[in-house]
Amino acid sequence: MESACVQLTDLPDEILIIIFKQLHYVEALYSLIDVNKRLNKILHDPSFTSALTLMDHSVDGRICSLPYPMFYRFLQILPRIHHKIQWLNLEPLTMNRILLSANYPNLYGLGLYGLEMQKFEHLFTSKIVLF
């Protein structure tokens, strides 16, 4: 019996979508966007781009920033998918750079995690507009 070598790209789109949905969407976008046109088309689907959590958790459960290479890559990805994003979950250290990296015309929800109450109050009472 001959062994067959099946590659990821040999699978039908429907199977790839099922596989990608088992991953964290941010990790799927980070790892697979720009691999080829077919994967780009799948990953630009709203099921992967409508709600993004652009933060990480430390071993002890604290909220922290994405690793720098991943964060930097998302600064390049976000302007290309900005119109599909409806919800962002962010942490304080990278929040400004992410929000200023693109215009989010369909953003209706923003989750702010690990934000100190003083900074939270300043964000919503300050007369300075960041955009």
CA distance 82 to 6: 34
pTM score above 0.85: no
Percentage of the residues of the chain whose pLDDT score is greater than 90: 59
Q: In this predicted model, what pLDDT tens digit does every residue of 26-69 receive, in sequence order?
A: 999 999 999 999 999 999 998 899 999 999 988 888 898 999 99
Separation of CA 58 from chain center: 18
Cα distances from 59 to residues 56, 62, 63, 74, 126, in angstroms, run 10, 7, 10, 23, 34
Q: In this predicted model, what pLDDT tens digit does every residue of 90-104 receive, in sequence order?
A: 998 999 899 999 999
Q: For position 117, what pLDDT does the model report?
A: 73
- Between residues 57 and 77, the one the model is more confident about: 77
If you average pLDDT over residues 93-120, what whole number do you get? 88
Look over the chain and give the mean of its residue pLDDT values, rounded to a whole number.
87
Quick check: 89 and 98 in contact, CB under 8 A? no
DSSP 9: G
- Between residues 2 and 12, the one the model is more confident about: 12
Percentage of the residues of the chain whose pLDDT score is greater than 70: 88
Q: For position 115, what pLDDT does the model report?
A: 78
